[in-house]
Structure 1
């Protein structure tokens, strides 16, 4: 008896069960999964709470034969503002290992690299609908997707250094947009907008904010119609180099970021940002 084609075998696989997410929302319609970042419309979709759930989703969705493409969009007017600065400020006040050694387990050294690898290993097309600001770890989500549509008024960049933190994804940015542009972006903390985001290679197209999700859904539908095996294995070949960079450099970057979380420079940067004032002179040298 002739063996079944591989794509038919994948289609007949059982549908996995998804947990009840709280920091993200997942819905599937006509083979396209829409992942909405954030649960509270009054907060800027911080990755602090979303990352563990996104990691879980990316690992599960690989085994879901009903999903042919994924669109990631932010709730409200923000895609993702990265780490929660308020949480950072509160955390910096209690990061004394002699008093609270439990904070060590919350450092993002392993969790961040696991997240990037899980997203890179999703076989189906992943499209980012950057409907608003995408900064820091929010930018990381978008730049690891296969196609990015950005709102023409969205601010996109990586202000880690301005917050007194090492920019852990600097090497990854260099891999994707080139070392010179990565330096300019992360060392200055500058934020790009619309067409400038496209020109720098961080997005594929810019659109008015109210059109971003529709364009992303249309692009996801087009990609979903491509021969699935050819797509997934070509994508894998493209992502292997990025995964190698993550494996080689990312853990060091996140370890160094974790060290700067202990610094008075970071504590002052987080406090001044939260209090909307200029930072006092920094001590770190």
Structure 2
């Protein structure tokens, strides 16, 4: 793998985003490698817990809109829909539903597409410098593809961060229940692995059933249907962009990522 590191020890699979020079921005190859790592951990009978972490100052600056990857001569909404439904919706839902507990360790900035990586995890441990944001309203889009905002933050806080584009601090995220624990930055990995080892000592089948019970309850409340529905709302943003300024929408992109170094 080029952008992802993978290792297993003590019944814990650790998946590491390793593109720090780009603040772990997500191009297609990174996401495909990441999905392969998740599937590898899911299939390994020796793995009880999955940890997702990132190298560098920031967890992820989101989708890499300046990746330099080949762009089709003609961009259509159908092409956008096909790509995003696979890499941004199906991947995130698949990671969410893997029948093993997962923990995301988040530091620095977690912007837009970065949320699609940590929100599917069952638990989130955040460094005290972590900030979570989705400023894509600046791009004429109502939020990222896996629209977990309302479920993760509650309706009014979700609207606030979408309307303003401002980041949610680790402390705020813990207060609303999006984050399980906030720790000093230099203790993030140790505290995450301590939690992972504790969970890994529990009976795997019991963990699987507990996860299914909670996820199924959310789905009965409408989570799955809402995620699917709002993904289609997201696509209307792309449709508008295609008619106004072309794709991708790069307006104010530099402003969005000005603080990512």
Using structure 2 for the length normalisation, give the TM-score.
0.83
**Matching of residues 7-18 of structure 1 within 5 Å:** none
Using structure 1 for the length normalisation, give the TM-score.
0.77
Rg larger for: 1
In 1, Cα distance between the equivalents of 2:233 and 2:98? Answer: 23
1:143 partnered with 2:119 = yes
User: CA shift at 1:171, angstroms?
Assistant: 4.3
Equivalent residue for 2:21?
A: 42
Q: Which runs of 4+ in 1 moved over 4 A?
A: 100-103, 271-274
1:233 partnered with 2:209 = yes
- Range with greater deviation from structure 2 (191-200 or 205-214): 191-200
Q: Give the 3-state SS of the residue equivalent to 2:59 in structure 1.
A: strand
In 2, Cα distance between the equivalents of 1:248 and 1:102? Answer: 17
1:37, 1:74 within 8 Å by CA — same for their partners in 2? yes
Change (3 A) 1:170 1:60: closer
**Structure 1, unaligned runs of 5 or more:** 1-20, 277-285
Equivalent residue for 2:103?
A: 127
User: CA shift at 1:111, angstroms?
Assistant: 2.7
**Matching of residues 24-35 of structure 1 within 5 Å:** 24-35=4-15
User: CA shift at 1:158, angstroms?
Assistant: 1.2
Equivalent residue for 1:11?
A: none
Equivalent residue for 1:259?
A: 239
In 1, Cα distance between the equivalents of 2:87 and 2:196? Answer: 28
1:148, 1:204 within 8 Å by CA — same for their partners in 2? yes
1:161-180 CA-partner distances (Å, limit 9, x unpaired):
12443313574221233212
2:105, 2:124 within 8 Å by CA — same for their partners in 1? yes
In 2, Cα distance between the equivalents of 1:153 and 1:211? Answer: 12
Q: Give the 3-state SS of the residue equivalent to 1:267 in structure 2.
A: coil
User: CA shift at 1:54, angstroms?
Assistant: 1.9
Q: In angstroms, what is the RMSD of aligned CA positions?
A: 2.8
Number of equivalences? 249
1:31, 1:66 within 8 Å by CA — same for their partners in 2? yes
**Given the alignment, which residue of 39, 43, 55 partners 1:59?**
39
Equivalent residue for 2:51?
A: 71
